Each structure stands twice: as structure tokens, then as C-alpha cells.
């Protein structure tokens, strides 16, 4: 994989950065495409994702790289659905950044390690949906806005 192709998605959430962070790390939340996300969110510990995709169960995993509550969260991510071997060069790096202004929080997600511009575009489209689901989980009445 190459780090040259970065997927980026942004959403505005009408809530504090703390409220967004709390939803992001809630183990019972299902904003991540219905997957359950588990971690203690301490640098160096695992993060796991359990769910179902196209009717098939999956378990993705990674490692927490940075925790700066409620400003930034970074972790690695690998999925067996990628078809790639489970080796470090096949892991994506995900970065969530939170910028709060006047009671609203802009959430930006970046995913590096995409193998092509097309792969990055596909990931961007997926992350726009995921961030929209995060926004709706934090502020259900905000669904009229769109991830950009």
C-alpha cells in the first residue's frame, strides 16, 4: 500500500467535542457501519471492530497510536476483507480530529495507506456515510446536514 492516497471526510456536529468524543468511543454505539468497536483508548493497546458486511461476519483490528481527548484520536486498522496479508504495510492509519467552535464540532477523518486514487475515493465515500452516522448518533435532529 502507498501512503500517497489519503481519504478525507468532514462533518459538522451540533454538539461539544466532548459529546462527540464520548459517542465515538462508546462501546455500545453502532455508528461505525453497525460494527462494535472495542478499546480502552490508551496508546499501544488494541482496537477491534466486530460486525457483519454483506452478510458475512468480520473482525478488523489495529492499535491505538494517539489519544488527545477531545481533540485527536489516531489508530491503525486492518481488515481481512481487504484480501491483503495481516502485515504492518497493509494497515491504514486513521486520524479523527475535532475542532469545536461555538458549541459545534467539526470532525475530520483522514485515512492513509490507500493503494490508489480510486481506493481513496471509495474510502472517502464510506467515511462520509460513517461520519453522518456519528453525527446522527450524537445529535439525532441534525440529520438534515450532510457530511462533506
Q: What is the pTM of this model?
A: 0.88
Task: Look at residue 143 and tell me whether its pLDDT is greater than 80.
Answer: no
**Percent of the residues in the chain that have a pLDDT greater than 70, as a whole number:** 94
Are the CB atoms for 107 and 101 separated by under 8 Å? no
Nearest to 67 by CA among 96, 104, 37: 96
Q: Read off the pLDDT of residues 107-118 as tens digits, 9 standing for 90 and up.
A: 999 999 998 999
CA angle, corner 93, sides to 147 and 120, nearest 5?
55
Task: Give the class (CATH, top level) of 5-141.
Answer: alpha beta
pLDDT, position 54: 81
If one counts every other C-beta atom within 10 angstroms of the C-beta of residue 66, the result is 13
Domain ranges of the chain: 5-141
Q: What is the spatial distance between Cα 76 and Cα 113, in angstroms, rounded to a whole number?
A: 10
Residue 143 is inside which H or E element, if any? none
Residue 26 gets which letter from DSSP? -
Quote the distance between the C-alpha of residue 44 and its chain's center. Answer: 18
DSSP string, 82-104: G-S-SSGGG-EEEEEEEEEETTE
How far apart CA 65 and CA 137 sit, in angstroms, is: 25
Amino acid at each position: 500500500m502507498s501512503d500517497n492516497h489519503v481519504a478525507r471526510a468532514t462533518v459538522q456536529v451540533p454538539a461539544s467535542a466532548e459529546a462527540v468524543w464520548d459517542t465515538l468511543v462508546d462501546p455500545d454505539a453502532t455508528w461505525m457501519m453497525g460494527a462494535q468497536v472495542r478499546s480502552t483508548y490508551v496508546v499501544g493497546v488494541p482496537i477491534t471492530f466486530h460486525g457483519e458486511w454483506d452478510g458475512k461476519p468480520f473482525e478488523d483490528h489495529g492499535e491505538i497510536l494517539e489519544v488527545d481527548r477531545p481533540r485527536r484520536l489516531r489508530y491503525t486498522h486492518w481488515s481481512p476483507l481487504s484480501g491483503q496479508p495481516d502485515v504492518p504495510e497493509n494497515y491504514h492509519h486513521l486520524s479523527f480530529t475535532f475542532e469545536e467552535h461555538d458549541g459545534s464540532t467539526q470532525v475530520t477523518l483522514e485515512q492513509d495507506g490507500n493503494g490508489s486514487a480510486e481506493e481513496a475515493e471509495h474510502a472517502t465515500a464510506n467515511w462520509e456515510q460513517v461520519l453522518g452516522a456519528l453525527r446522527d448518533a450524537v445529535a439525532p435532529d441534525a440529520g438534515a446536514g450532510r457530511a462533506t
